[in-house]
């Protein structure tokens, strides 16, 4: 049997990733603040841990998939956190946390002989279920070589470099583009609908044209044209990613004008629809003042 691993954070992404790891033969010790997400894992033979520290006292390798940098920091370094565990040697952060937090956590864990691995993923809930995520890793090379066979179960694994935080920066650059694509596709397709064009026809045309992007190939067909708005990624997380990317860019003295406009759109979306809303609802924010509806239920 493959190594028993700890998994903390069984949300939209964590559940399918942990499920794939269990299916690949890994024993799991799981923890989440929400009880209802633990049950299905216990039924399949996973062990429940009472805290993050407990997980880290029962597994050498602990994976986390958590919403925000402050929660990751708390779960890793806080009271009852992973760093207090007696067995843990490696912490793999699958969350999008930004380079600075990752680097700071890595430095603190190093003092305790624990290696922190930046391992953000891209590809959404669908990619997590199918095992086709992009898995971006930065950590010492020997650690990468040891983890790669396990990580291959969740997607295509890329070694970004040894510098702490570099995989997080890679991920933020990707998500800035994804957030921009979603926002501009919502605006362009709403404009086309206002001019009388069928949005399904627009998506078909765009997807063989130069405007094609992941909003038009994935989000519109799966969750927007049918008005389900159930893609599985929250507005709060999208806003966080854009904000973190711009903070990094600004920290390096860069002035990214398009990115600033995209941040203000996602800020507005976060304010109007709330951080828990599915991020595909940005179409509703754009279409309402336009007085049109993009797509129809079904
Ligand atoms: P989510 O909110 O669905 O899941 C987070 C889980 O963490 C929840 O089950 C929550 O109960 C748990 N949690 C929160 N605080 C906790 C704590 N203190 N201790 C233990 N468990 C705690 O979020 P998600 O969509 O699965 O995203 C997770 C991470 O992956 C985020 O950083 C996100 O940016 C990133 N990500 C998400 C997607 C996506 O499409 N959803 C894609 C790529 C990356």
Between CA 51 and CA 34 the distance in angstroms is: 12
pLDDT for 221 beyond 70: yes
Residue minimizing CA distance to atom 1 of ligand 1: 11
- Tell me the C-alpha distance between 128 and 11, whole Å: 11
- pLDDT digit string (tens) for 182-209? 999 999 999 999 999 999 999 999 999 9
pLDDT tens per residue, range 39-64? 999 999 999 999 999 999 999 999 99
**Structure tokens, 169:** 């920066």
Strands (E), 103-258: 115-118, 121-122, 133-138, 155-161
pLDDT tens column, 13-22:
999 999 999 9
**In angstroms, what is the span from residue 276 Cα to ligand 1's centroid?**
12
- Dihedral sign of CA atoms 241, 79, 9, 118 in order: positive
Name the CATH topology of 169-290. Answer: 1.10.1040
Of the chain, the end-to-end C-alpha distance in Å amounts to 44
Q: How far is the CA of 53 from the centre of ligand 1 (A)?
A: 18
Query: Can you give the three-state secondary structure of 111-176, one letter per residue?
Result: HCCCEEEECCEECHHHHHHHCCEEEEEECCHHHHHHHHHHHCCCEEEEEEECCCCHHHHHHHHHHH
Token pair recorded at residue 257 = 């004008």
Closest-CA residue, ligand 1 atom 9, reads 11
Query: Distance from the CA of 14 to the center of ligand 1, in angstroms?
Result: 7
**% residues pLDDT > 90 (the chain):** 98
Whether residue 192 contacts residue 289, with contact meaning beta carbons closer than 8 Å, is answered with no
**pLDDT at position 121 over 70:** yes
Residue 1 has pLDDT above 70, yes or no: no
Q: How far is the CA of 68 from the centre of ligand 1 (A)?
A: 8
Q: pLDDT value at position 298?
A: 79
Q: pTM above the 0.85 mark? A: yes
Token digits of residue 137: 């890793």
Respond yes or no: is residue 171 known to be catalytic. yes
Whether ligand 1 lies within 6 angstroms of the CB of 12 is answered as yes
Mean pLDDT of the chain: 97
Residue 96: CB within 6 Å of ligand 1?
yes
> Who's near 55: CB < 8 A, 6+ residues apart?
6, 7, 8, 29, 30, 31, 49, 62, 82, 85
> pLDDT for 145-164, tens place per residue?
999 999 999 999 999 999 99
- Please give the CATH topology (third level) of the domain spanning 5-164: Rossmann fold (3.40.50)
pLDDT greater than 90 at residue 249: yes
Domain locations in the chain? Answer: 5-164, 169-290
Instruction: Kindly state the average pLDDT of the residues 2-7.
Output: 95
User: Which atom of ligand 1 has the smallest separation from the CA of 13?
Assistant: 26
Active-site option among 74, 108, 171, 222: 171
């Amino acid at each position: 049997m493959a190594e028993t691993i700890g998994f903390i954070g069984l949300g939209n992404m964590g559940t399918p990733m942990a499920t794939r790891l269990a299916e690949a033969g890994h024993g799991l010790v799981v923890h989440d603040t929400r009880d209802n997400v633990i049950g299905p894992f216990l039924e399949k033979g996973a062990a429940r841990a009472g805290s993050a520290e407990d997980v880290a006292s029962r597994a050498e390798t602990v994976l986390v998939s958590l919403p925000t940098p402050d929660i990751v920091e708390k779960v890793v370094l806080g009271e009852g956190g992973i760093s207090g565990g007696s067995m843990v040697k490696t912490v793999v952060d699958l969350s999008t946390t930004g380079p600075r937090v990752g680097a700071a956590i890595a430095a603190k864990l190093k003092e305790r002989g624990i290696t922190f691995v930046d391992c953000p993923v891209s590809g959404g809930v669908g990619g997590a279920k199918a095992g086709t995520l992009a898995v971006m890793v930065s950590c010492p090379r020997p650690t990468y070589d040891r983890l790669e066979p396990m990580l291959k179960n969740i997607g295509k694994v890329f070694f970004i470099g040894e510098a702490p935080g570099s995989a997080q920066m890679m991920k933020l650059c990707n998500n800035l583009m994804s957030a921009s694509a979603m926002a501009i596709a919502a605006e362009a397709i709403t404009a086309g609908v206002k001019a009388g064009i069928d949005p399904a026809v627009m998506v078909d045309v765009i997807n063989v044209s130069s405007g094609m992007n992941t909003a038009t190939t994935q989000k519109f067909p799966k969750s927007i044209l049918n008005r389900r708005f159930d893609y599985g990624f929250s507005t709060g997380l999208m806003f966080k990613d854009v904000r973190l990317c711009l903070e990094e860019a600004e920290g390096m003295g860069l002035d990214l004008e398009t990115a600033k406009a995209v941040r203000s759109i996602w800020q507005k979306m976060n304010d109007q629809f709330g951080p828990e809303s599915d991020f595909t609802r940005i179409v509703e924010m754009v279409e309402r003042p336009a007085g049109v509806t993009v797509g129809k239920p079904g």
